[in-house]
Structure 1
Amino acid sequence: MHATADNFDQLLQEHAALLRTHGEVQARCSELIRAQALEIARLDAQAMRLRAELVKRDTALAWAKDDQAALEHAIPGLPKRAALARHVEALQARVRELSDELQQRDVRQAFAPVLASHADDLAGLEEDLAAADLVICQTGCMSHGAYWRVQDHCKRTGKACVLVENADALHIVRIQRSGEGEGAALVASQQG
């Protein structure tokens, strides 16, 4: 009988071990089910928030479309006017570019003869004008824009500036300085 009692005790120990293992597995399964339930609840809440944001965005977009349609209906030709306004802005920018190019071309043309004989660039012309005591400009040899640029240079630097029709007819030039340091030139004699 002793063998049967030992078998029974061993069977009781195995049964107790199985019950403990079964209890641990049940606890683990319960924890996994609880964690999954929390994750499902979190995902459901996130899906609800995303649906609400989508409805909010779609509603705002629909209102904006309605507002735009009402505005276009209230102001006939608004899209065409907006397109024309953009076109006008582009044309104004192009006019500014062309005006700048034209002004630069006028400067190059006005000073081309001087640059060819005295300097390679406008900086050389500025150096020549700065070294001169008197600037004599012959009419007909310079553009209107160049005339004003030379006059501006003379004012800025205080140089005397004379405008003559025929440079060969000029014999005597006397420079008088005013009290402010600006020079004024008087043509004393010209041949008729």
Structure 2
Amino acid sequence: MGSVYGNEDVIAHEHRVLMGEYGRAQARCSAQLAAQAARIAQLESELMRARAQVVIRDTRLALARDELAELAASVPGLPTRARLARKVEWLGERVQDLMRELLRLQWLPAPVLQADVREKAVLYVGSYLEQNAGRSAAGANVAQLAIEQAGGRFLHHAGGDAGADDVAALEAGLVAADLVICQTGCVSHDAYWRVHDHCKRTGKQCVLVDQPQAMHFVRKEALLT
């Protein structure tokens, strides 16, 4: 008992220290609870604003759909017109791509190859522009001379599209030919694509030249008797 009474001051001091620590811990817990409560309130406020924005968006979307439905009902054939407009736009882009490909092919150098045309029918498509009639005739003569000297049979089509007879003659020449030579700068657009399509479908060899003089790929071998 004497020892307890002798330590009263120490015990009282430790008690005060513990109470101080307890008070500070309680204050920290209270501050954390207050901060969490404030954060929860902020998040709830943000959630309410987000929900309000979603409601506004859905309302505007519904109104826009109603307006679109009314517009479609007031203009018969509007969906079809829209599809046609998109298709026309796509076709325009396709035409541009094809024209660029055509220009690229026109500027390609004559192919470096040796074509054996002996006893073969060679269709030369080109030289149809009237303003270049003199040069065109000379071009056809150059091609004919090169092919016949190599032992081939020369077929010719001017590359125009003046009526059904002209188209039929081109188709007949393509069918009869073993090899097709197309002078890209002097044929009509329709004739060029007919030649391109026929050779692609049949696998027939087709040589593109930008001028008749570029005939060095034909073997200049006369027929042996």
| TM-score normalized by the length of structure 1 | 0.51
Kindly report which structure 2 residues correspond to 1:27-38, keeping only aligned pairs within 5 A, or say none: 27-38=27-38
CA distance in 1, matches of 2:78, 2:100: 33
| Alpha-carbon distance change, 101 to 2 in structure 1, aligned in 2, over 3 angstroms | closer
With a CA cutoff of 8 Å and minimum separation of 6, indicate the structure with the bigger relative contact order. 2
Report SS of the residue matched to 2:44: helix
Q: Which has the larger radius of gyration?
A: 1
Deviation at 1:98, TM superposition (A): 4.7
Decide which of 134, 137, 143 is 1:137's aligned counterpart: 134
Matched, 1:54 2:51: no
* Equivalent residue number for residue 7 of structure 1: 7
| Alpha-carbon distance change, 83 to 18 in structure 1, aligned in 2, over 3 angstroms | same
Answer 1 or 2: which has greater strand percent. Answer: 1
| Alpha-carbon distance change, 35 to 97 in structure 1, aligned in 2, over 3 angstroms | closer
Kindly report which structure 2 residues correspond to 1:20-169, keeping only aligned pairs within 5 A, or say none: 20-98=20-98, 137-138=134-135, 140-141=137-138
Deviation at 1:99, TM superposition (A): 5.5
Report SS of the residue matched to 1:137: helix
Instruction: Give the CA RMSD over aligned residues.
Output: 3.4
| Alpha-carbon distance change, 96 to 36 in structure 1, aligned in 2, over 3 angstroms | closer
Answer 1 or 2: which has greater helix percent. Answer: 1
* Equivalent residue number for residue 171 of structure 1: none
Deviation at 1:20, TM superposition (A): 0.7
Number of aligned pairs?
121
- Structure 2 counterpart of 1:83, which letter? R
Deviation at 1:136, TM superposition (A): 10
Deviation at 1:137, TM superposition (A): 3.3
Deviation at 1:59, TM superposition (A): 1.3
Deviation at 1:82, TM superposition (A): 0.4
Deviation at 1:39, TM superposition (A): 0.9
Give the unaligned 5+ runs of structure 2: 111-131, 140-157, 161-184, 187-225
Deviation at 1:140, TM superposition (A): 3.8
| Alpha-carbon distance change, 28 to 141 in structure 1, aligned in 2, over 3 angstroms | same
1:3-35 per-residue CA deviation (whole Å, 9 max, x = no partner) reads 343232222122211211111111111111111
| Alpha-carbon distance change, 33 to 136 in structure 1, aligned in 2, over 3 angstroms | closer
Identity score, percent: 43
| TM-score normalized by the length of structure 2 | 0.44
Deviation at 1:103, TM superposition (A): 7.3
